[in-house]
Amino acid sequence: MGGFIHYFSSHFQTLGQEFWPLLVGGLANGFLYGMVAVGYTLVYGVLRLINFAHSEVFMAGGFASFFVMQHLVGTSSPNGISSVLYILIGILVGGLTGSLIAMAIERVAYRPLRKRNSPKLAYLISAIGASYFLFNFAGKEFGRYSVSMAQPYTNHPLFTIFGAGVQMYDIIIFIAGALMLFGLDRLVTLTKLGRSIRAVAQDAETASLMGVNIDRTIALTFMIGGALGGAAGFLYGMNVGVVYTMGFTPALKAFTAAVLGGIGNLRGAVLGGLILGTMESFSVAFLAPSYIDVTAFGILVLVLLVRPTGIMGERLGRSA
């Protein structure tokens, strides 16, 4: 018992010095999870199914932007305005690829099942099939080894909060993630397109009576979720590098975040992502780096056992 307390108190001391960097890093990761998590939650909202092929949307966004960066940046080390430009291009390319792949998944793996009124299990199997096809195809085409992306910016501590350096990378993700998620929230709450997505989520048949084209709305929902997931693939790949299996773990964590926040709830997905990212980050300090995935999936099991509707509950079709 004494040893146990000692173990924790010594960790609390390191925590004192590392609190801010851990928090900043955790929140940055959290934004990435949030960007992928909204893809799960949006699709769940309109179709009541988990798009387990969403991990490949993330991967596709990573690869597409990898090739564009390789071409644009090459071995140069851009900074200043050209960095901003390259990052914007990366987000755009990742997002565009993500939305195209997501729409293709909907068209090929889900729509035929929907037209036949297939049972939910068929969707799950179809999703796994689509996922395996896509990442194996990427592995075959682009190689099986992880490669680093040409860096569109130079990573360095930008400024310090309470003595802790905040890295450029974290700031990029903060800004990009926050802007995109805020934009999504406004899109769903205020625009006609957003209203049609919420209407389909709440009552698809009645939505069609109002003149909403359900097929089109579902395709657009995949597209929007795919855009954020693909852009996240770029932001992640920019730091970690790209490989054909890169989608698996981050996407499963984003799914955890979506469940944690309340599947079907957009703001919940973002909140879940931020909580998950932060908890992971602190678990590295409290326990050991190797516990990072254990923490994430421990949370998933716990939420499913204790509160399956998540923190904010399932408020389908509500903007939040």
Partner 1 sequence: MLKVENAIVRYGAIEALHAISFEVNQGEVVALLGANGAGKSTTLRMLSGLHSAWSGSVTFEGVDITNEKAHDMVSRGIGLVPEGRRIFPQMTVEENLEMGAFARSGSFHDEIEEQYAKFPILKERRKQLGANLSGGEQQMLAISRALMGKPRLLLLDEPSMGLAPMIIEQIFEIIGQIREAGTTVFVVEQNATQALQIADRGYVMENGKIVFSDSAKNLLVDPRVRAVYLGESA
CA distance 224 to 241: 24
From the CB of 108, what's the least distance to partner 1, in Å?
22
Nearer to partner 1, 229 or 317 (CB): 317
> Concatenated DSSP letters for 161-175?
ETTEEEEHHHHHHHH
CA distance 77 to 244: 26
Q: Which amino acid is at 47?
A: L
From the CB of 221, what's the least distance to partner 1, in Å?
16
Q: Which amino acid is at 46?
A: V
From the CB of 314, what's the least distance to partner 1, in Å?
10
Nearer to partner 1, 76 or 191 (CB): 191
CA distance 215 to 181: 24
Nearer to partner 1, 131 or 265 (CB): 265
Under 8 Å between Cβ of 135 and 245? yes
CA distance 269 to 311: 10
From the CB of 311, what's the least distance to partner 1, in Å?
18
Nearer to partner 1, 89 or 187 (CB): 187
Nearer to partner 1, 178 or 320 (CB): 320
From the CB of 82, what's the least distance to partner 1, in Å?
42
Q: Which residues of 204-216 are buried (b: 16+ CB within 10 A; e: fewer)?
A: beebeeeebebee
Q: Which residues bind partner 1 (CB under 8 A)?
A: 192, 195-196, 198-199, 202-203, 205-214, 315-318
